[in-house]
Amino acid sequence: MKTFSKEPGKEPRRQIACPVCGSANFRPRWSSEHYSFARCRVCGLVYQNPQPYQDILTQRYDDEYFAYEKENEEGYFRLMRLSLDDIEFDAFTSTIPQDRKSIIDIGCATGRLISSLQQSGWTVQGVEICSASAEYGMLKYGVPIHIGTLESRRFGDGSFSVAHCSHLIEHLTDPSAFLQEVRRILSANGWLIVSTPNIAGFQARLMGEKWRSAIADHIVLYSRKTLGLLLKKNGFQICRIKTWGGIGAGIAPAWVKKPADYLAKRTGAGDVMIVLARPVP
């Protein structure tokens, strides 16, 4: 599946310090006509600098984006299920008492994942910035979806035992504010699941600025190291991490892709990573 991306025009941007370590010391990494990625000289984070404003980014999630989400709904659901199996979702959540099984899926698109979890007895909540996706999902699956950002809803302290966000964190201009809010709404012994492109993976190294995730909509591109630093800074510790995807579909024949995928997974150099983390007591 292709990554959705809209080429931005000229839009207001501002110089920022590294969103992970706060250093203003960076060097240019990749650039295109309207946006460029920098690499922090202190922690190694790759992030867009200058950075677009969040309210302008929000406007990109329009009807065109909804059409993309709707078309790929089942494909993404299958991928999410596979990635959750990778971190043994069913096993670690089996210790949560049934009446406390509550999950929030932030950036839930049409709510396909929470609809499936609701059927297996979970109390579910979605959050989605694209109103068309959220409205479609609420109607189709009958699941609750808050339209807007997580921070705009103010859920109660410790409301959820699991927070899931798939391909969301790389879109955020202030990932620390987001993680602080997640920590607040998670129960003390809750679980956080984050999946995001892996800039330390094989594909990113091979493709450079042509990497499919080096796009305008991705504000920060994380590696295992920099995502770990961000989580630690915001009170989370990593319990498990898995990666997948060696070579993109259509780039190489199956006899190359298959062993490359296998190798990427074995070595942690996959194109996408999924992290299981918990709040530090």
Nearer to Zn ion, 23 or 119 (CB): 23
What residues line the site for Zn ion (CB under 5 A)?
Answer: 18, 20-21, 23, 40, 42-43, 45
Place of tokens 């990932």: 175
CB of 239 to Zn ion, least distance (A): 24
Structure token digits, residue 49:
């600098």
CB of 172 to Zn ion, least distance (A): 16
Residues in the chain: 281
Nearer to Zn ion, 42 or 256 (CB): 42
Nearer to Zn ion, 18 or 113 (CB): 18
Nearer to Zn ion, 45 or 272 (CB): 45
* Sheet with strand 186-197: strands edge to edge: 145-147, 123-128, 102-106, 160-166, 186-197, 272-279, 236-244
- Say whether 38 sits in a helix, a strand or coil: strand
CB of 22 to Zn ion, least distance (A): 7
**Exposure class string for 38-54: b at 16+ Cβ within 10 A, else e:** bbbeebbbbbbbebbee
Residues in CB range of 172: below 8 A, 6 or more apart: 54, 178, 219, 220
Return the sign of the alpha-carbon dihedral for residues 216, 199, 256, 78: negative
Nearer to Zn ion, 45 or 162 (CB): 45
Q: Which residues pair with 221 in a beta bridge?
A: 46
CB of 238 to Zn ion, least distance (A): 18
CB of 182 to Zn ion, least distance (A): 21
Nearer to Zn ion, 20 or 216 (CB): 20
- Angstrom CA distances, 13 to 34, 55, 98, 129, 168, stand at 10, 12, 46, 21, 20
CB of 84 to Zn ion, least distance (A): 30
CB of 19 to Zn ion, least distance (A): 8
Nearer to Zn ion, 42 or 249 (CB): 42
6: amino acid identity, one letter: K
